[in-house]
């Protein structure tokens, strides 16, 4: 069914207020709501709500929310074409090369070449198709770490689509524990491991942080990769130190360039040594050793 986008522009602080109010007002409706910066120089943000039916009624409710906030400006409408966006996104995803790795969708199986480590990942419910700078940066760094250190036991914390766990299993032929807090992501990860024929090496488990007995059973890890976000990574520094082997390596990403120093400091404080930082598309991948 075609969607209609109802949107309004405002400054950042105003846009954040609008987003929070709409998110509360439409929480039970399950309608997608987003806020996006559209003009950095003039600090203009756009708050959008997407509706498929009863657009007039939803717009009336939006107006009531805006009136309660005393927000000026009119709500604009944009009719969106009826497109299968998942299918369209797959068509637009080109194979990604990162070191020896080739990450591709089913539609690009014919593009695999001899000598490459091919990983087939479809765009779906879990993060990580290889197209984000953080994932590609992790793949490049993991290849170097595995070649130099020959780890025997690895952890992919916050695995998402399991692209990194699959990469480790294919490259190093070692057991990899792949965990995520999202059970849907874990199901996708397990399916991708089977698709890439490494299910015997990759164990996918739903586990928040390190609060699951699987970690103590499998630790210490020679290698931990975590492509999450900077703040959670900083909070996890003591537990990372507790679960990694002496001399083991950490590969961390999901970190903006401006957050790099704070993350490194958090791990140096836990007796890690910074080895290398890889910069890619405004993001960094950090290699540290215990």
H/E segment holding residue 119:
strand 117-120
Asked whether the predicted pLDDT for residue 190 surpasses 60, the reply is: yes
Write out pLDDT tens, residues 160-169.
889 999 999 9
CATH class of 4-79: alpha beta
H/E segment holding residue 163:
helix 163-172
Write out pLDDT tens, residues 123-140.
554 445 454 678 889 999
Write out pLDDT tens, residues 10-29.
998 899 999 989 988 987 77
Q: What topology is assigned to 128-289 in CATH? A: Rossmann fold (3.40.50)
The answer to whether 4-79 and 128-289 have equal CATH topology is: no
For residue 175, what pLDDT is reported? 97
Chain-centre distance of CA 202, in angstroms? 19
H/E segment holding residue 189:
helix 183-195
Write out pLDDT tens, residues 195-229.
999 999 999 999 987 989 999 999 999 999 999 88
Q: Which residue has the higher pLDDT, 84 or 74?
A: 74
Q: What predicted TM-score, i.e. pTM, was given to this entire model?
A: 0.68
Q: Which of 240, 244, 248, 232 is nearest to 269 (CA)?
A: 240
What lies within 8 Å, CB to CB, of 214 at 6+ separation is 177, 179, 203, 205, 207
For residue 23, what pLDDT is reported? 86
- Domain limits of the chain? 4-79, 128-289
Asked whether the predicted pLDDT for residue 154 surpasses 80, the reply is: yes
């Amino acid at each position: 069914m075609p969607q209609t986008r109802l949107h309004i522009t405002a400054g950042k602080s105003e846009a954040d207020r609008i987003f929070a109010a709409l998110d509360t007002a439409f929480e039970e409706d399950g309608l997608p709501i987003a806020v996006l910066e559209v003009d950095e120089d003039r600090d203009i943000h756009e708050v959008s709500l997407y509706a498929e039916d009863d657009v007039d009624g939803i717009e009336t409710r939006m107006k009531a929310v805006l009136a309660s906030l005393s927000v000026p400006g009119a709500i604009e409408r944009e009719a969106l074409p009826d497109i299968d966006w998942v299918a369209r996104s797959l068509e637009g995803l080109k194979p990604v090369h990162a070191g020896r790795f080739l990450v591709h969708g089913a539609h690009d199986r014919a593009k695999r070449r001899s000598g490459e480590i091919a990983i087939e990942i479809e765009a779906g419910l879990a993060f990580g198709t290889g197209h984000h700078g953080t994932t590609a940066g992790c793949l490049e760094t993991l290849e170097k770490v595995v070649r130099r250190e020959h780890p025997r036991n690895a952890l992919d914390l916050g695995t998402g689509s399991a692209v990194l766990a699959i990469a480790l299993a294919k490259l190093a032929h070692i057991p990899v524990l792949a965990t995520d807090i999202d059970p849907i992501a874990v199901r996708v990860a397990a399916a991708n491991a089977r698709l890439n024929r490494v299910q015997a090496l990759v164990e996918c488990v739903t586990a928040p942080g390190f609060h699951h007995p699987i970690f103590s059973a499998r630790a210490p890890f020679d290698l931990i990769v975590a492509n999450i976000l900077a703040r959670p990574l900083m909070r996890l520094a003591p537990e990372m130190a507790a679960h990694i082997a002496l001399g083991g390596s950490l590969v961390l990403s999901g970190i903006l360039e401006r957050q790099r120093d704070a993350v490194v400091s958090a791990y140096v404080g836990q007796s890690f040594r910074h080895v290398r930082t890889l910069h890619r598309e405004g993001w960094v991948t950090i290699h540290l050793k215990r």
